[in-house]
Structure formats: structure tokens, C-alpha cells
Structure 1
Amino acid sequence: MKNVTITLPEQTLAKLRIEAAKAGKSVSKFMADLAEERIGSRTADPGQAMRQFLSGPLYDLTDENGKAPSREQIYDRSRVR
């Protein structure tokens, strides 16, 4: 489990503490449960994001003449330095 620091307006924090107390939870547990409710179900299948990415549109890497880049162009490290 990781720790996260968030910044909230004073009034929002006060309301958050009240709601957490009503639920019988710490603020940390209350926030963790809210996050899980909101985004937890979206990550139920670890391969889903990869399949979605791979099913997306292909990128056209050809130049204006329809020619694909050469191996040397693809692995040109001088641009990175």
C-alpha cells in the first residue's frame, strides 16, 4: 500500500472528516474506498487496457512518398543525445 498526499480546501476536509466518521472509517480508509468504488472496477482485467490500446488506430509512419523509415532512421540515437 502506498501513501498519497492530497490538498483540499478546509471546508472540504471538514466535510470529508464528518462523512468518514459517519461511516465509522478513518479518512484514509474512506478515501481509499471511494477511489476503489470509482475506478476499481475499471481495472478488474489487467489485459483490458493493453487490448484496448492494441485495437486502436494504427499510426502511419510513412513519409510523404509512402516510404517507411529505414532501420537506421528508427534506431538513430543521435537525436536522443
Structure 2
Amino acid sequence: MKNVTISMDDDLLVQTRVEAARAGKSVSRYLADAAREKVENDRAAAAQAERNRQLEALERIFSGPKWSVMENGRMPTADERNARR
């Protein structure tokens, strides 16, 4: 485990110490847990954004122009569909 030195203003330090004490953690552990949670949330958000991008692409494809297979108001028979033209 590596040590990291950070700087913060006095008011933030006091608030951080209070919140860490409420959580029953040291300031170091409290900040490390907060950083881990932030990283995990960012990764999950990035993965969700990628899934959304892919879904939007599929929706654009599926909502594109339709191919009409109707002939004279009816669906073609298997023989008609497979006939060599």
C-alpha cells in the first residue's frame, strides 16, 4: 500500500474528520474508500454509456427503412420467394 499526501482547506479537513469518525474509520481509510467508490462508479457509468451507445445504434438500424415483401397486397408463397429471376 502506498502513502499519498493531499492538501485541503481547514474546513474541509474538519468535516472529513467528523465524517470519518462517524463512519468509524481513520481519515486515511475514509478517503481511500471514497476514492474507490468514485472509481467504481465512474467505471460503471462508462460501461452503461457504452451499452446505451450500442443500443441507440441498434435502434437506428431497426428503425430504418422497411423492406416491403408484399406483392399485390399479399405475402409471396415459398415458391414465389425462391423463384430464380
Instruction: Give TM-score scaled by structure 1 length.
Output: 0.50
Q: Which has the higher helix share?
A: 2
Question: Rg: which structure is higher?
Answer: 2
